[in-house]
Amino acid sequence: MIGDGGEQRMAEKNSMDNNKRVKRGKEIDLSISCMVNTEVGALLAVMRMSPGDQCASQFIPGADEALDTSLMSGLKSLRTFIFSIQQDWHSVDPSVYLSPFLEVIQFDEIAAPAVASALSATIKILKLDIFDSTTPHSREAMHLIVDAITNCRLERSGHAADDTILMRILQLLISCLRCKASVLLSDSAVCTIVNTCFQVVQQSASRGHLLQRSARLAMHELVQMIYAHLPEVQRGSRNLADSDNFSSLNYGIGCMVDIFQFICSLLNVAAEVPDFNAMPSSPDEDVESFALVLINSAIEIAGEAIGEHPKLLKMIQEDLFYNLIRHGSHSTPLVLSLICSVVLNLYNNLRSLLKLQLEAFFRFVCLKIARGKLHSIQQEEVAIEGLVSFCRQPMFGIEMYTNFDCNPLYSNVFEEIGKLLCKRAFPNNGPLSSIQAQSFEGLVVMIQHIADGMEKSRSSKANSNLLSSNDASSFNSNLIRITEYKPFWTEKCERCDDPKAWVEFMRVRKYMKKRLLVSVNHFNLDEKKGLEFLKHAHLVPDPPEAQSLAYFLRFTPGLDKTMIGDYLGDPDEFHLKVLKEFTSTFDFKNMILDAALRNFLETFRLPGESQKIQRILEAFAERFYEQSDEMFVDKDAVFVLCYSLIMLNTDQHNAQVKKKMTEEEFIKNNRNINGGKDLPREYLSELFQSISTNEITLFDQSGGSVEMTPSRWINIINQSKTTDAYIFCEGQTQLNHDMFSIIAGPAMATLATVFEHADDDQIINQSMEGFLAVARIA
């Protein structure tokens, strides 16, 4: 009986709980009904006002009958409906109670206050989450809201009223993506939301600062919400080419690709060479900085997930990075700072997929500006700030050293950054300047990270068998002996899983690279003596082999470009083999002829002798024909057109030529060159426009161009597809002593001199920290 009584009490308790829930649910539904009723009443009140006195809230007797239009009828019907609902609000079709408000929003002839009131009501409904993704017909309702925003006429009366509408639209756009039903929006609808927000951003430029600021913040928030969804999107879940079903799918990678492409395109509005003294900042700079902030937000939020989506990744690898480098080298301090922030985020999230792009950024932007030759003090300071930010990343130094400094195909990124910081930190007479102080901070941080790596290496049991070879007192690069030639340009470590073998491979590679740079001086002074040194140092086989010599001429930095051109144009049989191997290092797939020719001619100076030019262009034509599409019938057609382009380049850009060749004359000169037939007129016209507007640069003797050109960028992209995988160095700390030995001389001199001249406590403390780090390394 006791058990039966307990069950009865439990049943009574459950019944009471259910009754409470039902009662609570009814109270919530009633509360929602009252809220919607309030919004309906407020909107009707505004619509009944005299158009001239709406702001003064004056009513006209009988206006209700005069304005009893379909809009007001819909609102009155809704007021009746909301108190007669027999089901909970969550189950009601949202279109029923949204449509009367949305009709007002879209109606052209209604006054601005009424539109603002309808927008506010819609915002409140979304914020209260009256419906979600499980509510029947919620997908259709969400798209009705987006359509209403799109069809809303933005300019109605005066600036103040219009600004109110624009502010409400911004709030509604954010609410659309923040509400629980936002997952039901299609890619097309999300793109429409972003596009509408950007239209408000554009309109706000001529209005008050508050509206402009609000519009930009709204755009920023939209981007963050959209790309926060990226990690949830499964790779390959969306066929972007399937446009038939595009609008019916929930939003995902499709809209993210389109939006990111749109944001990146905003970078192209900036002037090529801005006026750094302009005050205030130019509109171009304003748009550019706004775009960079949005790009940075997308990358911060999406993070590593970007690497799982090929279209997004390709956009970053090819288009975005090119624009960052192009604008970074000629930008204001503000834009340069934002660019450095974007690249730092890309480094932290995607560096394994951006190896050559990162190297190019350091070469053509940060290092170039930080050297302080052709840029303002403010730009130099920002560039050094950017470098120091990278140096603060614990693995940055060792990863730059292993991926670039130890690879003969690439520049010495770590060494150049380290020595640059030493140079810019070295004090003059007087207190340290801001640039000197920042450079010194970066140098100390770099040394501290090296010291941390040394301590990890010594304390790690996994590296205990390497202590003798890594100890500062035992390792000496002069002890490395190379007794035979190995194809070090393309050689890979066969035992990367063996730390000892990997370290030895890296050290030998770095040694070969040092010897290679020594050979440059010999070659530039005397070609024959340079080749003898290459054989003696086992940098090429003995007797020389064409491919190894071609790699030397193609990839070794600092070679005299004129001497390379003369060597390649020589009629000797071995030289012709080297020329063929040299051209085989280029990838001309999917490239138009002038871009391929620019890429080719950037690596050497074309000789002046016509026969040498002919031999070089014949080799180029053969390689281009091998990799081109079916447009050209044979390599001879490519050769003739190449020669014609060289002549056109001279004609268009030589000041001594008074009468310039016209496009029609160029096309006429190249008739019947393709196996007796004409090449497409559009193709020839494109070549003419490209050459006439952008000269094919033939380098001076040093070949020291420091500008990123489209052809050079194409070459970087092609190389990135076949380059070695990026080396992550978590736990690989055995090369830290090698790193310090490269910068030890200038670093110690800088530490000592700064400490001697310092009169600031912070600088003195940094100096002491630097000395302590050096002691840990030793």
pLDDT for 236: 46
CA distance 615 to 626: 17
pLDDT for 630: 78
Give residue 90's pLDDT band: very low, low, confident or very high (50, 70, 90): confident
CA distance 218 to 193: 11
CA distance 630 to 637: 12
CB of 118 within 8 A of CB of 106? no
> Region 563-592: what's the mean pLDDT?
93
Q: Is the pLDDT of residue 312 over 60?
A: yes
CB of 678 within 8 A of CB of 646? no
CA distance 472 to 744: 12
Q: Is the pLDDT of residue 602 over 50?
A: yes
CA distance 256 to 190: 9
> Region 210-215: what's the mean pLDDT?
92
Name 605's Cβ contacts closer than 8 Å, sequence gap at least 6: 561, 562, 564, 565, 698, 699, 700, 701, 703
CA distance 741 to 745: 8
CB of 747 within 8 A of CB of 739? no
> Region 652-668: what's the mean pLDDT?
90
> 577 vs 27, which has greater pLDDT?
577
Give residue 205's pLDDT band: very low, low, confident or very high (50, 70, 90): confident
> Region 473-501: what's the mean pLDDT?
70
> Region 754-763: what's the mean pLDDT?
90
> 270 vs 675, which has greater pLDDT?
675
Give residue 274's pLDDT band: very low, low, confident or very high (50, 70, 90): very low
Which residues are paired to 250 by β-bridges? Answer: 186
DSSP-assigned letters across all residues of 311-346: HHHHIIIIIIHHHHHHHHTT--HHHHHHHHHHHHHH
CA distance 629 to 616: 22
Q: Is the pLDDT of residue 65 over 60?
A: no
- Closest alpha carbon to 144 in 164, 161, 125: 125
> 711 vs 672, which has greater pLDDT?
672
Q: Is the pLDDT of residue 269 over 80?
A: no
> 294 vs 698, which has greater pLDDT?
294
Q: Is the pLDDT of residue 458 over 80?
A: no
Query: Which amino acid, one-letter code, is at 377?
Result: I
In tens, the pLDDT along 546-564 reads: 999 999 999 998 899 999 9
CB of 94 within 8 A of CB of 74? no
At residue 59, the 3 state secondary structure works out as strand
> Region 186-204: what's the mean pLDDT?
94
Query: Which amino acid, one-letter code, is at 769?
Result: E
pLDDT for 500: 84
> Region 13-19: what's the mean pLDDT?
52
CB of 172 within 8 A of CB of 149? yes
> Region 189-218: what's the mean pLDDT?
92
In tens, the pLDDT along 223-261 reads: 999 999 998 885 445 444 444 444 445 789 999 999 999
CA distance 67 to 76: 12
% of the chain with per-residue pLDDT over 70:
85
Query: Which amino acid, one-letter code, is at 687?
Result: L
Cα torsion angle, 392, 394, 398, 399, sign: negative
pLDDT for 63: 45
> Region 119-147: what's the mean pLDDT?
93
In tens, the pLDDT along 360-375 reads: 999 999 999 999 878 8
Q: Which of 103-107, 478-482, 565-569 has the lowest mean pLDDT?
A: 478-482
Highest mean pLDDT among 86-95, 114-123, 337-346: 337-346
Which residues are paired to 59 by β-bridges? Answer: 49
CA distance 351 to 307: 10
- Closest alpha carbon to 334 in 275, 277, 406, 285: 285
Name 360's Cβ contacts closer than 8 Å, sequence gap at least 6: 321, 325, 708, 713, 716
pLDDT for 11: 57
> Region 49-71: what's the mean pLDDT?
53
Helix (H) or strand (E) holding 625: helix 610-627
pLDDT for 280: 42
Q: Is the pLDDT of residue 212 over 80?
A: yes
| Cα Rg of the chain, angstroms | 34
pLDDT for 431: 85
> Region 332-341: what's the mean pLDDT?
96
In tens, the pLDDT along 581-591 reads: 999 999 898 88
DSSP label of 366: I
Q: Is the pLDDT of residue 163 over 60?
A: yes
Neighbours of 716 (CB within 10 A): 20
pLDDT for 268: 81
Helix (H) or strand (E) holding 297: helix 283-302
Give residue 162's pLDDT band: very low, low, confident or very high (50, 70, 90): confident
CB of 67 within 8 A of CB of 48? yes
Take residue 95 and report the two structure tokens written for it: 């279109």
- Closest alpha carbon to 317 in 283, 274, 346, 276: 346
CA distance 144 to 138: 10
What is this structure's pTM? 0.86
CB of 240 within 8 A of CB of 187? no
| H and E: helices and strands count for the chain | 34, 0
DSSP label of 677: B
CA distance 310 to 233: 13
> Region 438-460: what's the mean pLDDT?
90
> 154 vs 31, which has greater pLDDT?
31
CB of 520 within 8 A of CB of 556? yes
In tens, the pLDDT along 389-424 reads: 999 999 999 999 999 999 988 999 999 999 999 999
First to last CA, the chain: 86
Which residues are paired to 674 by β-bridges? Answer: 677
Neighbours of 747 (CB within 10 A): 24
Domains and CATH numbers, the chain: 18-237+245-432 (no CATH), 590-700 (1.10.1000.11)
Give residue 157's pLDDT band: very low, low, confident or very high (50, 70, 90): low
> Region 583-610: what's the mean pLDDT?
90
Q: Which long-range contacts (CB under 8 A, 24 or more apart) does 225-229 make?
A: 225/174, 225/177, 225/178, 225/182, 226/177, 226/190, 226/194, 226/251, 226/255, 226/256, 226/259, 226/298, 227/256, 227/297, 227/298, 227/301, 227/302, 228/301, 228/302, 229/256
CA distance 288 to 487: 45
> 617 vs 65, which has greater pLDDT?
617
Q: Is the pLDDT of residue 276 over 60?
A: no
At residue 600, the 3 state secondary structure works out as helix
pLDDT for 60: 44
CA distance 245 to 679: 40
CB of 50 within 8 A of CB of 61? no
Name 130's Cβ contacts closer than 8 Å, sequence gap at least 6: 32, 89, 90, 94
> Region 316-323: what's the mean pLDDT?
96
Cis peptide preceding 280, ω within 30 of 0: yes
pLDDT for 5: 60
Average pLDDT of the chain? 85
> 702 vs 663, which has greater pLDDT?
663
pLDDT for 565: 94
CB of 332 within 8 A of CB of 340? no
Q: Is the pLDDT of residue 470 over 50?
A: no
CB of 559 within 8 A of CB of 524? yes
Catalytic residue set? 609
Take residue 359 and report the two structure tokens written for it: 């190297």
CA distance 222 to 241: 25
Give residue 194's pLDDT band: very low, low, confident or very high (50, 70, 90): very high
